[in-house]
Structure 1
Amino acid sequence: MKEKIRNFIIFAAVILVAFLLQNAFSLALPQEVSTPNLLLIVVCFFGLMCGSNKGIAIGFACGLLVDVFYGDVIGFNALIYMYCGLFSGIFRRWFYSEIIIMPLLLVFINDFMFNTVYYGFRLLLRNKLDYPYYFEKIILPEMIITTFCALIVYKLFYLLNEKVISKEQRSALSFDK
């Protein structure tokens, strides 16, 4: 029980820090520069390292946070982030810490899916039909900068998962009880 509360506090702190950093980047950088989607990195990494259920829960929390502060429809971003967490959690059994290309590829693909779905439901339905322009100016730069940021913070997430979060899973499997 103690480990679950500790993990909840850790997850909440990581989500809050990622949200605050993402907001700080968007305020500090000029409007023409894409900002990294740090919440998507959090969802992808925790989904990949902890499984689909935690990926969905963290995706819901991240998306709901974005919806409450910036959305005009509550639940839209939460739904997209939840699917990103589910998609990342599917690849948990193929996750190896030495192979960094898999988490980065997942972040890249999830960012593409996130922005494409966002375009489809938010802009396409408003008759904004210039997808190549949106892809060139918004999706592709954000995918690149988000993947680069994921490369930088991957080791932090891996160490956090190994040292703190997965202790609960290892203690459940030990025979020393």
Structure 2
Amino acid sequence: MKKRFNVKRILITGLIVFVCYILQTCLFPHLTFARIKPNLLVILVSAYGFMGGKRTGMLVGFFAGFLLDNTFGTVAGFHMIFYTLLGYINGIFSRIFFDDDIKLPIILISLSDLAYGLVFYFIAFMLAGDFRFGYYLLRIILPETIYTMVIAIVLYPIILYISHRLASAEQRSASRFV
């Protein structure tokens, strides 16, 4: 059975992506700890990936990356490609995802942010000749992963709640037409 195109879900998801983008680029730079800020878009793309599947994760990742590339893109298309792949990879886990267990989402979000930090280091620093990997790992990548994980513990239940509300509204709407 083909999934029904739902304009309300698309608009609300787009609004959530935009709000997280604004928070990440405007608010969280002022809430840094030792110049480290959480990556809200990694949380969002990962959550939509394992909650909605590969296609949903890829679409959310594409648009989140598009917003970042248009604002901060030092390597053209880096964020768009990375977040799209991130959404796809997290979407693979949608089959083993249970929304009442927070361990898998937090682990996947943490691994996703760690992957982002490692890939970003490789593209932005190592290719430019900066080989201080230990410094970046201990002072930037791991602290950002921990900060993102702490924020994910708060943000993920909100995303899950919104997803459940949209799903129940879709079920009520579908039951009226059956």
Normalization by structure 1: what TM-score?
0.90
Q: Is the 8 A contact 2:29 2:37 kept in 1?
A: no
In the alignment, which of 94, 99, 102 is matched to residue 100 of structure 1?
Answer: 102
Equivalent residue letter for 1:92 = S
Percent identity over the alignment is: 30
CA shift, 1:172, in A, is 10
Equivalent residue letter for 1:8 = I
Equivalent residue letter for 2:61 = G
- Where does the alignment leave 5 or more consecutive residues of structure 2 unmatched? none
In the TM superposition, what whole-angstrom CA distance separates every residue of 1:81-122 from its partner, at most 9, and x where no partner exists? 111111110000111112100000000000011111111112
Aligned equivalents of 1:49 and 1:27: distance in 2?
28
In the TM superposition, what whole-angstrom CA distance separates every residue of 1:113-137 from its partner, at most 9, and x where no partner exists? 1111111112111111111100011
Report SS of the residue matched to 2:38.
coil
Normalization by structure 2: what TM-score?
0.89
Q: Is the 8 A contact 2:51 2:94 kept in 1?
A: yes
CA shift, 1:3, in A, is 5.6
Q: Is the 8 A contact 1:49 1:92 kept in 2?
A: yes
The number of residue pairs the alignment matches comes to 176
- 2:159 counterpart of 1:157: yes
- 1:47 is aligned to 49
**Which portions of structure 1, spanning 4 or more consecutive aligned residues, are displaced by more than 4 angstroms?**
165-168, 170-174
Matches within 5 A, 1:113-128: 113-128=115-130
- Where does the alignment leave 5 or more consecutive residues of structure 1 unmatched? none
Equivalent residue letter for 2:132 = D
In the TM superposition, what whole-angstrom CA distance separates every residue of 1:16-58 from its partner, at most 9, and x where no partner exists? 1101111233431358331110011110101110001010111
In the alignment, which of 15, 23, 26 is matched to residue 24 of structure 1?
Answer: 26
